[in-house]
Amino acid sequence: MIRNRKLANQLFGLFALLCAGVWMFPLYWAFVTSIRSEQNVVGGGGVLPDEFNLASYIDVIFRTNLMRWYVNSVGTAAITTAVVLLFGVMCAYALSQIKFPGRRLLYGVVLLSFMVPPQALYVAQFILMNDLGQVNKWGGIILPQLIVPVVIVVYKQFFDAVPKELREAAVLDGASEFKLLFKVYLPLNWGITTALGIVTFIATWNEFFLPFLVVTSETQMTIPVGITQVNDAFGVAYARIMSVALLAAAPVAIAYLIFQRKVTEAVMISSGIKG
């Protein structure tokens, strides 16, 4: 009986692995394609890798603006994340810890802004970026992405939960609000900061529509927009296209595989599932 149970569990595990394998097949196939020569790719080769040819990787690295796109993506995503977190934590701290007139109104507006889809505003964002001279600049990619209401909501929730005694003791010692925020509340909730940072960074890194509208110059593109140009540059050349796609995915993918626990936790915190 028990042996049967164990066997059933093992079979179930095998079945789960098979399902996950099928789910991952597109990525496997992209990889197999990327390490073949172009002739072999369209030559009806089998499902198994039969060649280890890095020519297309070398080609896309040296003959496209991939490196520029990396720099643009890392730069814009890092700046956006830093600004969103800094402005967000300051505002959330005030909302949570200081009784000032208008705080209910401000929080209400933050909650309301959840409902407005950012994509619907892109026409006006583009006009604004044009007026500010930010088209084809990092500013045009960063500025419209600075409003992430969930950051304020999550920080506020966690600040609300910090015991009041801590604050009273610090105030008696003569600590200012700024000191309280940056020396007590922020370090106490360091996990939240990394979680929100991860989620904001991935969202900005992956954003397609906005940079697609604001950037037309190939050297100013971010990764998700830039790699769609490779199609046009090479024509039908799937080994190269798969190489560029995998290279584009690599940084966040590797970071995810290393910090996967942290990332899943981050996604859960920012969706309000786990406190």
Partner 1 sequence: MSLQSRRRKANLTAMVLIAPFVATFAIFFAYPTLKVLQLSFTDSPLIGDGNWIGVDNYVRLLGDRLFYTSLVNNAYFVLLTVIPTTAIALGIALMISRLRGRLQALIMVLFFFPYILPVSVVTLIWTWMLDFQYGILQGVFTLFTGKPVAVFKNPHWVMPVIAAVTIWWTNGFNVLLFLAGLRNIPTDLYEAAKLDGATAWQRFRRVTWPLLWPITAMVLTLQLILQLKIFDQVYLLSKGGPFNSSYVLLLQVYREAFQLDHGGYGSAIAMTLVVIIVIFSVLQFQLLRVVGRR
* 74-103: contacts with partner 1 (CB under 8 A): 83, 86-88, 90-91, 93-95, 98-101, 103
Residue 58 contacts partner 1 per CB under 8 A: no
Least distance in angstroms from the C-beta of 149 to partner 1: 9
End-to-end Cα, the chain, rounded Å: 41
Quickly count: other Cβ atoms within 10 Å of residue 52's Cβ: 7
Least distance in angstroms from the C-beta of 26 to partner 1: 5
Indicate which single residue of 7, 11, 54, 127 sits in contact with partner 1 (rule: CB under 8 A).
127
Closest alpha carbon to 153 in 95, 99, 86: 95
Least distance in angstroms from the C-beta of 146 to partner 1: 5
> What distance in Å separates the CA atoms of residue 37 and residue 168, rounded to the nearest whole number?
68
> What distance in Å separates the CA atoms of residue 209 and residue 226, rounded to the nearest whole number?
12
Q: Which stretch binds partner 1 (CB under 8 A): 17-25, 54-62, 74-82, 186-194?
A: 17-25
Footprint (CB under 8 A) of partner 1, residues 239-258: 241-242, 244-246, 248-249, 252-253, 256-257
> What distance in Å separates the CA atoms of residue 10 and residue 23, rounded to the nearest whole number?
20
Element containing residue 42 per DSSP (H, E): none
Which amino acid is residue 164, in one-letter code? Answer: K
Q: Which stretch binds partner 1 (CB under 8 A): 14-22, 53-61, 162-170, 188-196?
A: 14-22
Least distance in angstroms from the C-beta of 240 to partner 1: 11
Residue 174 contacts partner 1 per CB under 8 A: no
Structure tokens at 249: 């995915």
Closer by beta carbon to partner 1, 23 or else 190:
23
Residue 157 contacts partner 1 per CB under 8 A: yes
Residue 217 contacts partner 1 per CB under 8 A: no
Least distance in angstroms from the C-beta of 52 to partner 1: 19
> What distance in Å separates the CA atoms of residue 160 and residue 70, rounded to the nearest whole number?
38
Indicate which single residue of 60, 141, 195, 263 sits in contact with partner 1 (rule: CB under 8 A).
263
Footprint (CB under 8 A) of partner 1, residues 185-214: 202, 205-206, 208-209, 213
Please, which residues have CB within 8 angstroms of residue 105's CB and are 6 or more apart in sequence?
A: none
DSSP 225-247: HHHHHHHHHHSS-HHHHHHHHHH
Indicate which single residue of 55, 170, 184, 268 sits in contact with partner 1 (rule: CB under 8 A).
268
